[in-house]
Chains A and B, each alone.
Chain A
Amino acid sequence: MSLMEHSRGIAMHRINAMVLRYWYLLVSSWPRMLELVYWPALQIITWGFLQNYISQNAGFFAQAGGTLIGAVILWDILFRGQLGFSISFLEEMWARNLGNLMMSPLKPIEFLISLMIMSLIRLAIGIIPMVILAIVFFKFNLFAFGLPLIAFFCNLIFTSWSLGIFVSGLVLRNGLGAESIVWTLMFGLMPLACVYYPVSVLPSWLQVVAWILPPTYVFEGMRALLFDHTFRADLMLTALAINVVLFIVSFAIFLGLLNSARCAGTLISGGE
């Protein structure tokens, strides 16, 4: 391979190298593995029993068993997707390894792709046991959603990556002092994404804001599927369109913050 060819485009071997780096890290630490499974399992058990209780006492939930559990699982895909992305990025900050990576031939886009792949791997480790628990304990089979599940999943994971890219850019620029945003940003979206209630519950002016967020369409789509047994393709397509814009904007912001970090000279020092 010539030097020019070597330096152009995205190189799979560099993405593989980064995925391998995170995989080595993950399997080297059983607490890390346990943590991936622990919280989703705890979530599904708590909310599953709550769903069981209120479905016996409230007509709304009796109509569509699994609304709550379904929302919990989809919310976790969104939340854990972003966390899986951002934690892999934070590992570089904690390890003070960013300087090594940034002056290697690794390109920012390759770095981000490897973080997306790791987000999927970490998500799978956490969510698969969660889904199995839901089937075993609460007779809720997420896969019964059928093909719409793919649309739900894709939209949620795209949103989680966009937010992950944006937050990583903030940490890159501002150091570990901005780390708390990684853990809290998604919770800021929770009330507006209408995870556990329909958008119509919000005041009309807040509904406008809610409809800007792709997850809102997913959770509305899930409720439509469970209550009305209809797949709202229009909602999924709108969510996808917003996601594309969100993804491009977050990537542009990441590059801007990376450039700003280079100007501020923080790439080599990292820290707070």
Chain B
Amino acid sequence: MAIEDIKSGHAATVDRSAAAAIDVAHLVKLYKTNRAVDDISFRIARGSITGLLGGNGAGKTTTIAMIMGLTLPTSGTVSVLGCAMPAQSAEVLGRMNFESPYVDMPMRLTVRQNLTVFGKLYAVADLKGRIAQLAEDLDLTDFLDRASGKLSAGQKTRVALAKALINEPELLLLDEPTASLDPDTADWIRQHLETYRRNRNATILLASHNMLEVERLCDRVIIMKKGRVEDDDSPEQILLRYNRTTLEDVFLDVARGRDREQAS
């Protein structure tokens, strides 16, 4: 299903096999008087990579947390792989996964032990084989039996990504997946994500501050500001609309309150 096809609105009935990977409708999250997320709606097609952009406090992490069912919306609905969240989360949590800088892997456990525990939680078949495959793909072999807490930032990120891929998820939610990585490792991770999406027809939603990353990886960009969706289109269309050559310039325009006309 093309992005354009599903941006037109809600389907009256949900065919789970064909439903959008993520369907967010009129989502609001209030923390006391702060509107962290303010009436946002979007649908994300299966097999796509979508970037969620926005400055600090724009509402990206809260939006992802509501999609995962970790945070309950004040109002509005979230549907993931055809299942309403969080009511039907039990049906869908095994088919998705996430990585976030806000959570860690248990530090005293070795990388292998951590992956074993999460593999068992997700009922991964041939777990040893899966861990060996991930170790090879993400270059973890040298420190597979080292405590997770003793790894460098880059190694930790790769391990967190391995955890996020352990169940070969249909939907992958990534919050700053390449933060604290050197450019070489970050590029390598991006390649891996692209390959994973292509091979599995997986859907990836990633929140990032790295504009080059978003430009390179994403078919679509959702820009958030103060809890609202400020813009939502393909990177090319957004660049055209703001008359900019990089998403970083667009990001600065949005962050500093320059609208499209002023920017152009």
Contact = CB atoms under 8 A, between A and B. Distances in A.
Interface of A: 3-4, 6-8, 11, 13-14, 16-18, 20-21, 24-25, 28-29, 91, 95-107, 259, 262-265, 267-269
Contact of B106 (A7, A14, A97): A97
A98 B147 CA distance: 19
15 contacts: A7-B90, A13-B120, A14-B121, A24-B113, A25-B109, A28-B147, A91-B106, A97-B104, A99-B100, A99-B102, A100-B103, A103-B70, A259-B72, A264-B31, A268-B70
B68 interface: yes
A268 B94 CA distance: 18
Contact of A6 (B61, B98, B123): B123
A100 B148 CA distance: 15
Contact of A268 (B36, B103, B106): B103
Contacts of B69: 103, 262
Given A21-B106, A99-B103, A3 B91 contact: yes
Interface in B31-69: 31, 36, 61-62, 65, 68-69
A106 B122 CA distance: 8
B102 A96 contact: yes
Interface SS, B side: mixed
Interface SS, A side: helix
Given A95-B106, A97-B104, A20 B117 contact: yes
B72 A263 contact: yes
A4 B83 CA distance: 12
Contacts of B90: 7-8, 105, 107
A22 B125 CA distance: 22
Contacts of A100: 103, 105, 118, 163
B70 to A, nearest CB: 5
Interface of B: 29, 31, 36, 61-62, 65, 68-72, 86, 90-91, 93-94, 96-98, 100, 102-110, 113, 116-118, 120-123, 147, 163
Contacts of B68: 103
A21 B117 contact: yes
A17 B93 contact: no
A18 B86 CA distance: 22
A268 B65 contact: yes
A16 B70 CA distance: 23
